[in-house]
Amino acid sequence: MPLTRKAYRAAILHSIADPAEVGIEASYEYFEDGLLVVDNGQISALGHASELLASLPADIEITHYQDALITPGFIDTHIHLPQTGMVGAYGEQLLDWLNTYTFPCESQFADQAHAEEVAGIFIKELLRNGTTTALVFGSVHPQSVNAFFEAAQKLDLRMIAGKVMMDRNAPDYLTDTAESSYLESKALIERWHGKGRLHYAVTPRFAPTSTPEQLTLAGQLLGEYPDLYMQTHISENLQEVEWVKELFPERKGYLDVYDHYQLLSERSVFAHGVHLCDDECARLAQTGSAVAFCPTSNLFLGSGLFNLPMAEKHKLNVGLGTDVGGGTSFSLLQTLNEAYKVMQLQGARLSPFKSLYLATLGGARALRLEERIGTLQPGTDADFLVLDYNATPLLSYRLKQSKSIAETLFVLMTLGDDRTVAQTYAAGNLVHQR
């Protein structure tokens, strides 16, 4: 393949560390007039345009974005593909919401054509919103994951997904068995895990919908293949937490159920964790597991307020999740808007640089992919966004009053959404243009 080298000039901002660990000023790099150089799908240089331009050949193609900010692509650490068609389902909290809306909606994925149609819509929506990597729940049907990976592969996206395993406490039309879930997951792993930029996640829905036999086999799968992910839900809703205690009376608590079945690992991501206790946060951190903070979902389903300071105290890896369709937006900008309010309601703050970290490098660390994505460091995948300061009249007017990149960033996260994402690049390719 011939070398393809391109450069992009704009204001450029990326996280390079967690503000909770190094302080805000050391957590990011900002180039007011920056240049990003991309060679064959990877970033090869990043710096001030004035310094880098001189080192580049005179004939290099340079795209200059005015009134725009280049950032790394966003990383969504928790989302459900088969819930795309049910965002904004009225009136229920978690357990009734699952029975009333979610399970019937997911049942449609038995149909291959439906799975393919929604996979296409879903990936378009991710890219329109600037999400270049997501950790994705399929439905119980393997075809939901095949359709998703086929569509992601065509665009050379870095994506992680898995077929839901659930063999009890759900309608018959939507359950597998311990054995069938093991065999179907295994076949998907063999077909997709490690293929290009795709990875597989073993996906028991949550403790109430898996028998001990199924959880045992989920743990077994993790032992059989290197670098597999595990994703599930934990301690999202108080009724759910009580139900898990009834179903597993011999375990110390909710997390201990997953711990017992060897589902805690460096590549395990637990969604929500709204009602985790101190000991559980400590155990998650000790095992290198991560939590997906899903503020729009936690507010929409009335689940509660995630305690980010407690997670930080334990040095627990936290990523950001939209949790569509419990969550109400594919936009990580809108998700950060709600995250800020969740912190305000607890008398705490969320600095714009911590927010940027959560949506990019924090997510990459939660997924153990920080060597590849989440920053604009040379040597990493060229997954990046162009955010348009003039996306809406109000944003344009408001940003003209901004006195600092901190203020600009915070306003982008408060007023921004899919309209703000002018271009999305994945592996150096333009995969969305507004």
Select the span of 94-102, 246-254, 306-314, 376-384 touching ligand GUN (CB under 6 A).
Answer: 94-102
99 vs 396 by CB, closer to ligand GUN: 99
143 vs 297 by CB, closer to ligand GUN: 297
431 makes contact, choosing from ligand GUN, Zn ion, none, with CB < 5 to 8 Å by partner type, with: none
Q: Which of 102, 131, 289, 334 lies at the binding interface for ligand GUN (CB under 6 A)?
A: 102
94 vs 228 by CB, closer to ligand GUN: 94
Q: Is 233 in the site for ligand GUN (CB under 6 A)?
A: yes
Q: Is 184 in the site for ligand GUN (CB under 6 A)?
A: no
Instruction: Tell me the CA distances in angstroms from 221 to 53, 154, 185, 206, one per residue in order.
Output: 50, 27, 8, 17
Q: Is 206 in the site for ligand GUN (CB under 6 A)?
A: yes
**Count of residues binding ligand GUN (CB under 6 A)?**
11
Least distance to ligand GUN, CB of residue 83, Å: 6
118 vs 282: CA distance, rounded Å: 38
Half-sphere exposure for 20 (CA within 13 Å, toward CB): 20
Q: Is 199 in the site for ligand GUN (CB under 6 A)?
A: no
Q: Is 267 in the site for ligand GUN (CB under 6 A)?
A: no
271 vs 290 by CB, closer to Zn ion: 271
102 makes contact, choosing from ligand GUN, Zn ion, none, with CB < 5 to 8 Å by partner type, with: ligand GUN
Q: Is 109 in the site for ligand GUN (CB under 6 A)?
A: no
Residue 201 CB contacts under 8 Å (≥ 6 apart), including other chains: 135, 136, 160, 161, 162, 228, 229, 230, 231, 269
210 makes contact, choosing from Zn ion, ligand GUN, none, with CB < 5 to 8 Å by partner type, with: none
Binding site for Zn ion (CB under 5 A): 271, 323
State which of positions 294-323 bind ligand GUN (CB under 6 A). Answer: 297, 323
258 vs 154: CA distance, rounded Å: 35
Q: Which of 236, 280, 383, 417 lies at the binding interface for ligand GUN (CB under 6 A)?
A: 236
81 vs 126 by CB, closer to ligand GUN: 81
309 vs 326: CA distance, rounded Å: 24
406 close to 192: Cβ distance less than 8 angstroms: no
Least distance to ligand GUN, CB of residue 206, Å: 4
Q: Is 229 in the site for ligand GUN (CB under 6 A)?
A: no
299 makes contact, choosing from ligand GUN, Zn ion, none, with CB < 5 to 8 Å by partner type, with: none
89 vs 387 by CB, closer to ligand GUN: 89
103 vs 389 by CB, closer to ligand GUN: 103
Least distance to Zn ion, CB of residue 134, Å: 12
State which residue has the least CB distance to ligand GUN.
Answer: 326
Least distance to Zn ion, CB of residue 318, Å: 15
